[in-house]
Structure 1
C-alpha cells in the first residue's frame, strides 16, 4: 500500500533545464509556496546533459525566435542572475548556418527576414564570406549561409549546475531517483505515484519532454510529441579550427569547437525511425564520422574522447509546448528539441502562467490547447 510521504503546493516533474528553470522561477515569484522537483535520474542524466550545447536565435518560426531572444540576456548575465560566478563557458562567436544549394539559401533568406522583424542581427553570407569566416570547412557545394554574432555555445553541465544551486538556495526541494509513474486528479489537486510512495500537490508541471505522453496519455490528454534519436561525439582538444558553431542541413550535423578546444559533433539521421531507443545503430557512427570529416577535414586525424546518444522531442510544428492542459492545475513544459536554448525564458514565463499571471500573447500561443483547437502555428524549418 502506498504511504503518503510528502506534500507540496507545486510539484515539477523533470529535472532538466526546463524543469529546473520553472521550479526556480516559481519560488522566486512565490516564496510563500512550497515547490518540489522530482527527477528519475541523477543530476544531468537526461536530455539536457546530452545536448550539443549550442544557442541560436536563427530560427524560422516566431515562437522559437522569441524564446531564444528572451533567454539570451539570462545566459549573457548568468553569473549575476543566477549567482553562479564559476562561469558557464559561454563562447559567443556566432552561429554559421550553411546552405548547400539554392533551395536552402532561399530558406535562409526567409528566416533572416523573419528574424529581422524581432531585432535579430543576422545576415546572409556569400560562399566567399563563409570561407573567410570558417576557412577550415570544406567549401564544396556551399552556396552561402547565414550568421548571427550573438549566437554561441555554453556548457550544459554548468548551466544545469547554476540552475540547480539557485533553485536550492531559493528553497526548492529537489529529489533525484524518483520515477513518477502516474498522476491522479484528486479533489482539485493531484496525487503523484512513484513506486511505494505518493505525493500530494496542488499544481503540477510536467517537464519530462519525450516522456510526457506516458504521464498525460492515461488522463486523456494528447500531447503530440515523438522521440527522435541522435548521436553525438567529442574529440580531443585540437588547435583552433572553428570560431562559430556550424550547422549543415546537407550533412544533418552540428559542429562546435568548445572553449577547451574539443570539437563536439551532433548528428541526426533522417533514415532512423522515431522512437525512444537512442542506442546507436551499427552504421550510424561510421556514417556520422564520415559526414563530419567531409565537413571539417581536420577531424580526419582527431582522436575521440567519448560518444553518446540522445533524444530530440519532435512536435508537429517543432515549437515548444508550454501552458496549462485541459485539466486545470496541470501544466506541460515541452521543449521541442530546444530546451537548453530556451530554458530561462520558458521557465520564467511558465512560472507566471502557473501563478495565474498574464503572459505575452506570443507565449500564450504555445499552449497545448493549440492542438485540440486545430490552430496551426508556423512550422519551424531550420531543424538539423
Structure 2
C-alpha cells in the first residue's frame, strides 16, 4: 500500500520515533500529533501496513476473557464505527456480530463467566442456544454443539484501509513517515534512549515506540529490553462469490478448532490454525493446510464445501507466552515504549492502544490501567492468560 512519497534523508532529530507502520504505529503517530506533539517520525522498513496488519482477518470484537482486552476492544470499536466520518476513509465496516460456537460443556461454562464479565463492563454479549446459533449463522452444522456466545455489536473491516486513514491523518498533522527505512540500532546512554540509527541516517531522540509486531523482540534487543515475542504463521483464504448475502453472517468461530469465517466482499474469508505450528518468519502457503481447512469446513459448515477459492495468503501472529499483549514503558531504559505480542488481536485493539501509548508518552493516565500488561509480569511469574483467541 502506497500512501505518499518517502523522504530520501531522515530528519536529524525527532521528539519520538515510532518503529512499525502497521495499525499500532500509524494510530500512535496520529494520536501523538493530534495531542500537539511535534517532530514525530514513523519508520517502516517496507510499505505501511505490509506486515501483519495487511494479513489480518480484520475482526473487531470486545469478547475477551481479560478485562483490559475487553476495554481495549470496546474502545477501538468506537473508533472504527466513527472512522468514515472522523478520518474520511471507508473501511468497509460490517457490523454483523461475532459468534463463538461451543462443543464442550467446560468451554461453555468459561464463556458464561466471560460473558458475565463483558456484560458488567457494558457490552452486549450474551450466551445463545444451539438453535439460536443456527439462526444467526445458517450455514453451520449444529452437530456436537452445546451452545454459543454472541455479541451483535462486534464487526469486521478492511485493515489496510484503517492504516491508510490513520497515516493520512498523521501526515496532515506533520508526522514524518519514512517508508523503506530500516532501524539498525537504538542508542541508549546512561539508561536512556538518545537516538535511533536508520538506513537513511541517524535520528537523535529521547523516545522510541516499538510497534514492530512479530519483529519486536529484535528491536527490543537493540535497546537492551527483553520482549518475549515470537512469530506464528497463520493462513487465510478468500472464496469466489457465494449465492447468498454473506454480509448478514456474523464473524463465526468454531472455538474448539479455531476455524472461522466472515464475509469478504461478495464471498467469504476463512481461516484456521495449521496442524503443526510454524513459529518462524515464514509466510509461504502450505498446500496441506488447504486440505486441513477443507476437513474443518466439511465438519462445521458442510453447506460451504463447494465454494471455490479465489485467493489466499499467510501472515504472522506476534505471540507472547500467555497470548496477551505487552504494553508499557521499559523499566530499565527510559524513553522506550512498547506495544506488541497481541497474539492475534492486535489489529482490533490498534486504535485504543495508540491512545494508550500517547498517554504513556505524555505522562497521562490512560483510559484503562494497562500496568498488568507490562513485560515485567513474566519475571514476576504473573502471567495474564487470554482464553478467547483464534
Q: How far apart are residue 5 of structure 1 and its match?
A: 5.5
In the alignment, does 2:157 pair up with 1:154? yes
Q: C-alpha deviations, 1:13-56, integer Å up to 9, x for none?
A: 0000000011111111124x210000011132110100001111
- Match in the other structure for 1:266: 271
State the 1:335 CA deviation.
Answer: 4.8
Which of 302, 305, 308 is the matching residue for 1:303? 308
The residue number in structure 1 matching 2:114 is 111
* Corresponding residue SS for 1:302: coil
Equivalents in 2 of 1:356, 1:306: separation in Å? 45
Alignment partner of 2:207: what SS?
A: strand
For the residues of structure 1 that align with 2:238 and 2:283, how far apart are their CA atoms? Answer: 17
Q: Does 1:45 align with 2:50?
A: yes
Task: Give deviations 1:97-117, integer Å, cap 9, x for gaps.
Answer: 000121221221121122122
Separation of aligned partners in 1, 2:275 and 2:205: 40
RMSD (CA atoms): 1.9
- 1:144 is aligned to 147
CA deviation vs aligned residue, 1:75-124 (integer Å, no higher than 9, x gap): 1111233x21x421111011100001212212211211221221111111
- Write the deviation string for residues 100-159 of structure 1: whole angstroms up to 9, x where unpaired: 121221221121122122111111111111111111112211111000000011111211
Partner of 2:195: 191
Structure 1 equivalent of residue 6 of structure 2 = none
2:104 to 101, 105, 108: 101
Checking the alignment, whether the CA contact within 8 Å between 2:233 and 2:283 is kept in structure 1 is: yes
Q: How many residues align?
A: 377
Which position in structure 2 is the counterpart of 1:23?
29
Identify if the C-alpha distance between structure 1 residues 50 and 361 changes in structure 2 by more than 3 Å, giving closer, same or farther. closer
Q: Decide which of 325, 328, 338 is 2:345's aligned counterpart.
A: 338
The Cα shift of 1:367 comes to 2.4
Distance 1:375 1:87, change over 3 A: same
* Of 161, 168, 182, the match for 1:165: 168
- Are the counterparts in 1 of residues 229 and 341 from structure 2 also a CA contact under 8 Å? no
**Equivalent pair of 1:124/1:144 in contact (CA under 8 Å):** yes
| Deviation sequence 1:227-278 (CA, Å, 0-9, x none) | 11111010122122451110112332221013x2220012212522422223
Show the counterpart of 1:226.
Answer: 230
